[in-house]
Structure 1
C-alpha cells in the first residue's frame, strides 16, 4: 500500500502541484511564463481531444449512447446542484456560485490525466472512449453555467421566472 501511495505522489503531475503549492505558501515569485502555460494547455487539449476522437471512432454508436447520455446528464445536473448548494447552504454570492458551479460541472483535464495515469499504474482496465466523454461533459457544464449567469444577471428576468416556476433556489 505504501508503495502505491509513494508511486502516485511521485508522478510529475503531483510533484508540480506540490511545488506550486509550496511556492504559494512561501510567497515565492516563482511563475511559469504565460507562453509556456498556454502551450501546455493547448497541447493537453489537442492530445485529449485527438485521443478521445480516435477512441470514440473505434466503438459502434450503439455502445456509446448510454455513456454519452450519462456524461451530458451529469454535465447538466452537477452545475445546477452545486449552484443551489453554494447559494442555499454556504450563502455564497451569485457570481462566485455560478463560477464554482461551472468549475465543478466541467472536468479538470489535469485531474482526468492524473486519474488515467493512476489507473494505468494500477493496471486497471478502462474504456478508451473516456477521453471523448471528458469533452462531452465540458460542453453542458459550461453552457448551463453561462446561461444561468446570463439569465440571472437581469433581475427582472429572474423575478418573472421565479414567480412563473415557483422556485427560489437561486435567490438569496
Structure 2
C-alpha cells in the first residue's frame, strides 16, 4: 500500500489474501442460503487459512500415504498454493421420506453410519452455489474430495459433520488446480 496525494494506492498483490477471504465468506453465504431438502438446514461451512490450511495439507498427505492415493499428495500441494479453503459438509439427519435412495427401504431401517441421500444432495447443491459465487468474482477454485476427507478427519466442521468437501481459493495468473500433472 502506498500513500499518494491524500489517497491510497492498493497494489492488487497486497490485497489478494483479504480479497480471497472475503470471497470465500461470500461463497459460504451462498452455500448457507442454497435450497435444502424439506427446508431442513443440515449444512455446515467454514473457511480455513494460515496454520489450519497447512494442517489440512499435512493431513491430506498422511491420508494419501496411508491409502496409497497419489492424488491426495498432489492436491495437498494445490491446497498450499491457495489463499484459503472453504469447507462444506453436512450433519446426518434422515428426512423421513422413505425414498430408499440410501439403499434401505425406510429411514428407520437405514443404518446409523449410512448417510441420508437427501443430506448428500444438500451438500452438492450448497457446493454448486458456493462455486457459482466464486465464478462470479473470477477466482480460481476446484471442489476437492481429498481436502474434504482431510478436513473431516481433523474435525474442522465439528463433531457429527460428514460428507465434507473443500474448495480451495486462488487468485493468481494461472490456476494451481488444473494442469497439475
TM-score bracket relative to the smaller structure: under 0.3
Larger Rg: 1
What is the TM-score of this pair, normalised by structure 2? 0.24
